[in-house]
Amino acid sequence: MLLAILLTGAAVAVPTVASAAPAGSDDARIAARASYKPRDSFTATWKRADALKVRSDSTNTSPLIPADFPVMTDDVWIWDTWPMTNVSTNVVTYNGWHVIFSLTAPRNIFFGDRHWQARIGFFYSRDAKSWKYGGDLFPAGYSLGSREWAGSTIVRGNEVQAFYTASGRDNGGVDPTDALQRLATASGKIHADKRHVWFTGFRNHKIIAEPDGQKYQTIEQSQAGPIIYAFRDPFVFRNPDDGRTYILFEGNTGGVAGSYQCKARDLGQLPPGHTVPADARYYTGNIGLLEATSSNLRNWRLLPPILSANCVNQQTERPHLVFRNGKVYLFTISHTFTFAPGLTGPDGVYGFVGPSLRSDYRPLNASALVLGNPPEQRLQQYSHYVMPNLLVESFIDTIFTQPGEQGPVYGGTLAPTLRLDIRGQRSYVVEELDYGYIPATRQTSRQQMVGTS
């Protein structure tokens, strides 16, 4: 156990402020921050001065996972995982079944090679923790790219729309040097009986977004840099403020790698004596935004990023958000090795809070660290996903054993689910639950789902 502890409107770059909370409270401070329309150009910043405050303690560190953890399936490695949701981000069931999606690769290949053979698989369960592997979501030969990377999946009635990263060139084969990434979608139908869940369709794949080279770096621009590149991980949602549908994704600031010049707004109030290494300019992660321009969610407009991590971190993976108590909690995952020189933080999930989708986000806990790996097991788990009920799922990566025992134990299965408590600008990990426990946040039957979102 743990410590207790769609589609119209013009962009006008004029901030709005609203506050109804008691003066001086966290809620009032958050509400008082500037808000902008989603199409505006304002981009919040994860500042270098904030990242310097990253410290692991009992409120933000995952409990140790033993090396004899249970494995969900002997067929495939499992890593990035997300639940089936409606467009309002609620985790839903279908005909009494809980359904999740994971990146998968055959267990007969080396764990480290899984990325280049990734396919989106699905699992289903009656109790939200005893998962049965259902196979690949997409029929063979239809998805774009040469492998399928992470995204999100929404259901309306029995109609399912998947958003994913088309990684690599189309029909490019197994090629770790091919870093091309595009955002794609496809739709199908979900079916279920008393014994199992299955899908049909998913033959209408379409690329919905590529980087423009200005807001978001292209693969060609990235070649001048020494660090990992990104244009991936679409997370779809309806914004309650305007009723429109958007996608968050991971990107990098547009321009040739290394050409970015660190600015005062990227740095913040640095402590005396802190110098910014020259190579920090290569680290330009951001969280991008798309706006739907058609009701079938197959046409999208590229908007400016809502958050940048220039000179702080190169990787803002799997961005997602939670709308809670009139605030927007924005989460992203990152690695130790993607922090810019002179900074560090554990592999884990980092978070920010603001009054609206495009607003002056500030880091939770002053540094943004929400939940990181314990120092004894720095690669223990990764790819955290925070659900509306503040449960956090992730996968087990690598468990290092003691000298004289067997070598590293590779996970490729879901980790224990953790529960967060969030109060204003502070978060705390408060409970450890079962392995892979991903319950619905909205109980929905098949009949109830027809015509709903």
* DSSP 8-state secondary structure symbol assigned to residue 30: H
pLDDT of residue 28: 82
Out of 233, 317, 347, 360, the active site residue is 317
Say which range, 41-50, 180-189, 196-205, 436-445, has the weakest mean pLDDT: 436-445
The mean per-residue pLDDT over the stretch 373-388 comes to 98
pLDDT of residue 21: 55
**Tell me, what amino acid is at 294?**
S
Q: Which alpha helices (H) appear in 211-267, and where do they start and end?
A: 219-222, 264-267
pLDDT of residue 24: 67
pLDDT at 12 over 50: no
pLDDT of residue 27: 84
HEC assignment per residue over 84-153: EECCCCCEEEECCEEEEEEEEEECCCCHHHHHHHCEEEEEEECCCCCCEEEEECCCCCCCCCCEEEEEEE
HEC assignment per residue over 147-182: EEEEEEEEEECCEEEEEEEEECCCCCCCCCCCCCEE
For residue 431, indicate whether it is catalytic: no
For 338-371, the pLDDT digits (tens) are 999 999 999 999 999 999 999 999 999 999 999 9
3-state secondary structure of 282: helix
* DSSP 8-state secondary structure symbol assigned to residue 279: G
pLDDT band at 22 (very low <50, low <70, confident <90, very high): low
* Cα–Cα distance measured from residue 44 to residue 46, given in angstroms and rounded to the nearest whole number: 7
pLDDT band at 447 (very low <50, low <70, confident <90, very high): very low
Q: Which residues pair with 84 in a beta bridge?
A: 153
Say which range, 24-33, 118-127, 256-265, 405-414, has the weakest mean pLDDT: 24-33
Out of 80, 233, 347, 393, the active site residue is 80
Tokens standing for residue 205:
């794949």
pLDDT of residue 289: 99
Q: Which residues pair with 302 in a beta bridge?
A: 290
The mean per-residue pLDDT over the stretch 148-177 comes to 96
pLDDT at 9 over 70: no
For 252-297, the pLDDT digits (tens) are 999 999 999 999 999 999 999 999 999 999 999 999 999 999 999 9
Q: How many CB atoms lie within 10 A of CB 69?
A: 15
pLDDT of residue 183: 99
Query: HSE (CB half, 13 Å, CA atoms) of 371?
Result: 32
For residue 317, indicate whether it is catalytic: yes
Q: Which domains does the chain have, with CATH numbers?
A: 43-447 (2.115.10.20)
For 420-442, the pLDDT digits (tens) are 999 999 999 999 999 999 999 97
Tokens standing for residue 432:
């450890």
Do the beta carbons of residue 266 and residue 308 sit within 8 Å? yes
